[in-house]
């Protein structure tokens, strides 16, 4: 597949992933000069017209969504029996990889990711699209930290052990809802259950249900009680614990009913971790009815999950409820053709025939035995009321004996526990302090009560209250000398956060480690307090520009260099040359040269002359005048100026003159810029300075 060009523009570069039904490749769009991701349906499914059509249709539907938290679909096509979808290429990691790396995420991070995923689901649900496979592997986090949901409406898994895919069940077993496990009706609340599982895994580092097979995991989603995430991670607030528990209610009616609802609660918790979030809907009388097929476990067939829908079970009146019923309409023909032995197993499990009643427009199944039990309860209740005798009070009003004995529960939320105890006991009820917890309310204030205020209670009934311990205090750990990552982990582990990070130069603290913290170590602070830190940038490197020191005295040069925090190294040149007499003590050369930018503390070497009077020879007796030697020829040494050392030597040798050098080393790149004398006689010696 690598190397082919799809749609005359998408050149496949490399394979970057594989799902249960497709491969994902990185490709280069030769038209727009950018990388894209191309999902290609596996050849195994090419002959399945239903899957191919679903692959194209749902990809086209997702392409119409415009949301920053959804991976964009760019193109859909078919070429030589290759069915492909072109998506934006996301640089980053999926959420599963991040959880594996970090073990578990801070609850603040989980809330932020949850908000972005819920935002994506809200957009999809408003466009009548249900994801059905929300899991960390399908949640991408870019290098910039942007959260994007991928694989909308397309069945996909990483391997056979995590995918349950039958005629009526589609999704990843660790993350799908009880209704998906049953293979029955799904709606937007299915995605919200899966989001609850993802939130659970983010804050605990593990999935809520595990097992040896997809079927075993599915049964746990249906039957097993959920362990509260706070039992596995005590650092998460009760509000987030309750939100996750509510999102993962086994009954759809008890869950969040829309992505907007879960977004609202997540934002409340983000603003105030101590916000009161109910773990489930307590008043079920206002809930909508839903379609639920019975789940039957056949012990003879490895705990196979069965259902028994038939076309007769679905009312024509429900066609008006298209949003919730679209999945059922698509699947009801499959349920209609279930094998006879499966129906026989279902029937053998029933004690009484099943009837269907309708409330509004959505059907619900109720057994006859349940109906008779409800009627019996109603009859007994009516009899109890009728048996109550009526008495007339002094004003002529009628009231029952039973009503005289009931007490309206007073509201003590927000009051001190002493005041609450007095109020409750004065009302004839019993005050019970059920538990205490940290909160943003002062210590001793009532946070919650059960039963709720204004309900009726009998005398001596218990009123259970939750009392505030005040805001949790945490002793700040010392994070001096740590790197930022280690400091953040240390703070998070005790319920604190890393605050502002400032940088300063330090000659004593290693670069990229913390110099100081505010508040300091061993100080009691509130939970989630941000600890500001100052981080070392290492020693400060200050540079200076070397000045021109030529012609200056040593003192002048020293003053200039001291101001620039540069050192000075002196090299003396002693001379008796009368021409240098007037520059004695003056600098004639420096290294490095002027204009160079160097680090403060660098030494600058200066070269200067010291003039020394030539020694006088003692007077001698006059000697006989020697015979005059032939007059030697003299030469003008100015001819040497600008010559290289080799050229200068050649010039001197041709005239019988000895030559010596001073200053820089004599190499072929240096040239004569100064000669010790203007004229020299044949056989004489001259000194040249090269530069």
Integer Cα distance of 588 and 606 in angstroms:
8
Integer Cα distance of 643 and 634 in angstroms:
19
Q: How many secondary structure helices (H) and strands (E) does the chain include?
A: 17, 37
Integer Cα distance of 292 and 307 in angstroms:
9
Integer Cα distance of 322 and 365 in angstroms:
20
In angstroms, what is the C-alpha Rg of the chain? 45
Neighbours of 309 (CB within 10 A): 21
The residues annotated as belonging to the active site are 143
Element (H, E) at 306: strand 304-306
Integer Cα distance of 683 and 474 in angstroms:
94
Element (H, E) at 559: helix 554-563
Integer Cα distance of 86 and 104 in angstroms:
33
Binding-site sequence positions for ATP: 39
Per-position DSSP letters for 43-80, written without gaps between them: GGGTT-HHHHHHHHHHHHHHHT---TTBPPEEEEEEET
Contact of 179 with 128, CB cutoff 8 Å = no
Buried b (16+ CB within 10 A) or exposed e, 3-26: eeebbeebbbeeeeeebbbbbbbb
Element (H, E) at 325: helix 322-336
Sheet holding 514-518, edge to edge: 497-504, 530-536, 514-518
Integer Cα distance of 19 and 40 in angstroms:
10
Instruction: Determine if residue 418 is left, alpha or beta; phi over 0 gives left, psi from -120 to 50 gives alpha, anything else beta.
Output: alpha
Q: What single DSSP character describes residue 444? A: T
Contact of 265 with 243, CB cutoff 8 Å = yes
Q: Count of residues for the chain? A: 691
Contact of 527 with 581, CB cutoff 8 Å = no
Q: Which two tokens stand for residue 526?
A: 């509130």
Q: Which of 134, 140, 136, 268 is nearest to 190 (CA)?
A: 134
């Amino acid at each position: 597949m690598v190397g082919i060009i799809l749609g005359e523009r998408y050149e496949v570069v490399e394979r970057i992933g594989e799902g249960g039904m497709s491969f994902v490749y990185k490709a280069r769009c030769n038209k727009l000069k950018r990388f894209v991701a191309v999902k290609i349906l596996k050849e195994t499914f090419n002959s399945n017209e239903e899957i191919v059509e679903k692959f194209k249709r749902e990809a086209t539907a997702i392409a119409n969504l415009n949301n920053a938290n959804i991976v964009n679909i760019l193109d859909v096509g078919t070429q030589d029996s290759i069915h492909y979808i072109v998506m934006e290429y996301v640089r980053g990691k999926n959420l599963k990889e991040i959880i594996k790396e970090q073990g578990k995420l801070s609850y603040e991070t989980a809330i932020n990711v949850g908000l972005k995923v819920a935002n994506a689901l809200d957009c999809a649900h408003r466009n009548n699209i249900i994801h059905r496979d929300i899991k960390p592997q399908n949640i991408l986090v870019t290098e910039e930290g942007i959260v994007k949901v991928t694989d909308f409406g397309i069945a996909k898994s990483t391997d056979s052990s995590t995918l349950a895919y039958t005629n009526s069940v589609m999704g990843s077993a660790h993350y799908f809802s009880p209704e998906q496990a049953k293979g029955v009706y799904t709606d937007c609340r299915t995605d919200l259950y899966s989001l609850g599982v993802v939130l659970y895994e983010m804050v605990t580092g593990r999935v809520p249900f595990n097992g040896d097979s997809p079927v075993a995991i599915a049964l746990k989603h249906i039957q097993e009680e959920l362990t509260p995430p706070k039992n596995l991670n005590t650092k998460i607030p009760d509000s987030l614990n309750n939100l996750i528990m509510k999102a993962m209610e086994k009954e759809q009616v008890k869950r969040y009913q829309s992505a907007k609802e879960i977004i609202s609660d997540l934002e409340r918790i983000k603003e105030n971790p101590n916000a009161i979030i109910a773990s489930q809907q307590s008043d079920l009388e206002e809930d909508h009815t839903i379609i639920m097929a019975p789940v039957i476990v056949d012990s003879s067939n490895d705990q196979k999950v069965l259902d028994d829908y038939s076309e007769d079970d679905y009312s024509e009146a429900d066609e008006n409820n298209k949003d919730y019923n679209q999945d059922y309409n698509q699947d009801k023909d499959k349920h209609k053709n279930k094998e006879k032995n499966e129906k026989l197993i279902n029937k053998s499990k029933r004690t009484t025939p099943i009837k269907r009643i309708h409330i509004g427009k959505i059907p619900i199944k109720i057994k006859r035995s349940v109906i008779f039990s409800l009627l019996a309860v109603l009859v007994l209740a009516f009899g109890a009321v009728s048996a109550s005798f009526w008495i007339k009070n002094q004003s002529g009003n009628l009231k029952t004996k039973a009503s005289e004995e009931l007490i309206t529960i007073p509201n003590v939320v927000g009051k001190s526990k002493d005041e609450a105890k007095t109020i409750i006991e004065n009302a004839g009820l019993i005050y019970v302090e059920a538990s205490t917890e940290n909160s943003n309310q002062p210590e001793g204030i009532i946070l919650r009560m059960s039963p709720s205020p204004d309900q009726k209670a009998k005398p001596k009934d218990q009123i259970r209250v939750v009392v505030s311990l005040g805001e949790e205090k945490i002793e700040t750990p010392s994070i001096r000398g740590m790197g930022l990552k280690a400091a953040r982990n240390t703070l998070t582990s005790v319920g604190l956060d890393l605050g502002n990070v400032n940088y300063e130069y330090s000659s004593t603290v290693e670069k990229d480690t913390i110099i100081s913290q505010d508040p300091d170590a061993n100080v009691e602070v509130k939970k989630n307090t941000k600890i500001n830190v100052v981080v070392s940038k290492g020693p400060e490197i200050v540079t200076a520009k070397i000045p021109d020191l030529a012609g200056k005295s040593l003192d002048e040069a020293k003053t200039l260099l001291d101001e620039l925090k540069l050192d000075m190294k002196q090299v003396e040149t002693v001379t008796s040359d009368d021409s240098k007499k007037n520059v004695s003590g003056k600098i004639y050369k420096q290294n490095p040269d002027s204009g160079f930018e160097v680090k403060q503390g660098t030494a600058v070497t200066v070269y200067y002359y010291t003039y020394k009077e030539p020694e006088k020879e003692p007077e001698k007796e006059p000697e006989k005048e020697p015979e005059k030697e032939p007059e030697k020829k003299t030469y003008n040494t100015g001819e040497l100026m600008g010559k290289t050392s080799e050229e200068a030597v050649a010039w001197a040798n041709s005239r019988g003159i000895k030559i010596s050098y001073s200053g820089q080393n004599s190499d072929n790149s240096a040239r004569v810029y100064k000669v010790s004398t203007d004229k020299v006689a044949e056989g004489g010696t001259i000194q040249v300075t090269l530069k």
